[in-house]
Structure 1
Amino acid sequence: MRNFKEKFKLKLAENNYKFTRQRELIVETIVENENWHFNAEELFEAVKEKDSEIGMATIYRTLELLEKLDLIHTLDFNEESRVYELYIEEQHHHHLICKGCGKLVEFSDQGIEDFEKELEAKYDFCIDEHKLKFFGYCRECRDK
């Protein structure tokens, strides 16, 4: 994940943004929790433990910038909150989302990737992105 920080620095420079201490701390916090799906408030709480002077506005601005630079993705699972995750090209995956408790499960499936290739061939179409989300109920919520 160290290269993520370097990638961030490079993208900032390419787009004429400064690499500030606040941005560095926010990115480090995200990277420390690399398998973390987080919302802005959770990130704020984690960053605040390291530097109480960083405000919520800085968190939102940095998340916006990270998304603009294609370093994180917003996952819109429900209307109540936006959830973010690191965007790592080599780790394409999909999500199972529990409508009861909000639990997120990541999964990869070669069959879906093969299906994408079939669609491209069948329709002479170049797919450069897809997002697949399944909604339902986890075992714990079904057992309640």
Structure 2
Amino acid sequence: MNTTLEKLKERIKDKKYKLTTQRQTILQAFIDAEEKHLCAEDVYVLVKAVAPDIGLATIYRTLDLFTELDLLKRLDFGDGRNRYELNDEEFAHFHHHLICVKCGCVKEFEDDMLETLESIIAKKLNFKTIDHQLKVYGYCGDCQEKMKAEEEAEAAQKGE
């Protein structure tokens, strides 16, 4: 049995909410998804294949509830859409996001380099950090290659 799903089910039960079939389907979509930063529309597409009766409004309400229950983390990557990722111990490691400003892809990287900064903040300012997010904006490797090819083509065209 899927231990992640079981842990999340238990957290819902502990907070006195029912795990309806629709909520379980939406939760399972996050567990199964290859892409870990899903917007409501992404969830809708994944869920429609399994449960065509679940509407987009239900997905939005469920995402809000799961965020409130701390099952999901809401993320803002500056593209005008909220994205969500599981907030489970299995996924709770500190990780940071690399966001391509050209194609919008988001990649995670794990490096706890901010722990040093957190300990300095704790000592100097008597502030205990419980979470942090680092978002780095730039160009992914694919987009860099495309831009380079476009620049070379443009330069060749001007040279003619």
Give yes or no for contact 1:38–1:83 (8 Å, CA) kept in 2. yes
Q: Which has the larger radius of gyration?
A: 2
Give yes or no for contact 1:34–1:86 (8 Å, CA) kept in 2. no
Query: More displaced, 6-15 or 70-79?
Result: 6-15
Q: State the partner residue of 2:112.
A: 110
Quote how far apart the aligned CAs of 1:79 are.
4.3
Q: State the partner residue of 1:137.
A: 139
TM-score by length of 1: 0.89
Write the distance in 2 (CA, Å) between the matches of 1:10 and 1:34: 24
Percent identity for Structure 1 against Structure 2? 40
Q: Tell me, which stretches of 5 or more residues in structure 1 are unaligned?
A: none
One of 101, 104, 111 as aligned partner of 2:103: 101
What amino acid is the match of 1:66?
A: F
RMSD: 1.9
TM-score by length of 2: 0.81
Query: More displaced, 12-21 or 41-50?
Result: 12-21
Q: State the partner residue of 1:9.
A: 9
Q: State the partner residue of 2:65.
A: 65
Alpha carbons of structure 1 residues 22 and 58: separation in structure 2 relative to 1, 3 Å: same
Write the distance in 2 (CA, Å) between the matches of 1:109 and 1:122: 23
Write the distance in 2 (CA, Å) between the matches of 1:66 and 1:113: 28
What amino acid is the match of 2:122?
A: E
Are 1:54 and 2:48 counterparts?
no
Q: How does 1:10-29 map to 2 (within 5 A)?
A: 10-29=10-29
> What SS does structure 1 have at the residue aligned with 2:12?
helix
Quote how far apart the aligned CAs of 1:35 are.
5.3
Write the distance in 2 (CA, Å) between the matches of 1:3 and 1:86: 14
Superimposed CA distance per residue, residues 85-127 of structure 1 (whole angstroms, 9 cap, x where no aligned partner): 1113442211111111111111121322222122212222111
